[in-house]
Amino acid sequence: MAKSSMINRDIKRKKLVAKYAGKRADLKKIIASTTASYEEKEAAVIKLQKLPRDSSPARVTSRCELTGRPRGVYNKFGLGRNKLREATMRGDVPGLRKASW
């Protein structure tokens, strides 16, 4: 089980990403625009840099839903490799079974 403070920090980051997603998208659109002037682009970059650091989607880590483990997480299932294996053995994951040859 991961530290609860780390899990809570990641939840807080997800909320910030959702809160600032529209504003970040608008600023990035201005920066990538070919019609915007240099001054507009520069102002958009400065505004983007002033947003909270944790509002960037790259700072959100994928964690296991059951244990909070940050590594070895399969995003398709939302589980860490250990818990995914246990769920597969129990037959809880449809269409997935242990390989044997």
d(CA 69, CA 51): 28
Residue-wise pLDDT tens digits, 6-23: 999 999 999 999 999 999
For residue 58, pLDDT over 90 is answered with: yes
For residue 63, pLDDT over 90 is answered with: yes
Please name the residue that has the structure tokens 């939840």.
Answer: 11
What is the token pair recorded at 15? 């909320």
C-alpha closest to that of 63 among 16, 5, 2: 2
Residue 46 DSSP label: H
Share of the chain above pLDDT 90, in %: 87
Cα distances (Å, whole numbers) of residue 5 to 8, 9, 11, 37, 56: 5, 6, 10, 44, 20
Residue-wise pLDDT tens digits, 14-48: 999 999 999 999 999 999 999 999 999 999 999 99
d(CA 48, CA 46): 5
2 pLDDT tier (thresholds 50, 70, 90): confident
